[in-house]
Amino acid sequence: MLVLQFHRLGLACLFVSTAIHITLDLPIPPSVNRIRRVDWAGDKKRREFYLRSDLFLVAHGPRPPPVRLITGAFEIRIQIPESLSGIDLDNHAKALLDYLVSREFIPDDAKRYLRRLVIEWGSPTPACHITIKGCSNERTVMVD
């Protein structure tokens, strides 16, 4: 990532290259069927997954965490270990996307930002492998 900073009239301009690649390994998330129920058990599963993911990132993640680097459109590739997952492949995506939004790795999962989503079975590691890539042109962000 290329970041140039200069001051003019009291404002800082950040030139952020969108060639940003963030790679994360997270625990296998619960099924969307479990976390989207209208009951407290689903919320408990979501909170447990968020806590496990936070702890996993503290132990094995990049330092410092690459939060708020991607502010525009992006692509995500998710690899789920097939041997460790007993649910359908597509049921994992929503929990992972919601986690990434809540921890500010990505701005939102709306179609304005999420331009491509690839979910595939991966190697039998104990974690999901997630690659996030910025996909718009270089831009200037004005910061006060």
Residues 8-67 pLDDT 10s: 333 343 444 457 899 999 998 888 777 666 666 667 888 899 999 999 999 988 888 888
Residue 9 resides in a domain: no
Burial class (CB in 10 A: 0-12, 13-18, 19+), 110: exposed
Residue 108 contacts residue 68 (beta carbons within 8 Å): no
Number of domains in the chain: 1
Domain assignment present for 105: yes
Question: 100: closest CA among 44, 38, 48, 50?
Answer: 50
Tell me, yes or no, whether 11 lies in a domain. Answer: no
| Tens-digit pLDDT profile for residues 83-115 | 877 778 888 899 999 999 999 999 999 999 999
* Residue 6: pLDDT over 90: no
The pLDDT value recorded for residue 61 is 86
* Structural domain contains residue 12: no
User: 3 in a domain, yes or no?
Assistant: no
pTM: 0.75
Report the CATH number at residue 38.
Answer: 3.30.1330.70
In a domain, 132, yes or no: yes
In a domain, 13, yes or no: no
**DSSP letters for 43-101:** HHHHHHHHHHHHHHHHHHS-SS--TT---S-EEEEEEEEGGG--S-GGGGHHHHHHHHH
Contact 118, 77 (CB under 8 A): yes
- pLDDT score at 40: 63
Domain-located, residue 74: yes
Provide the domain limits for residue 30: 19-136
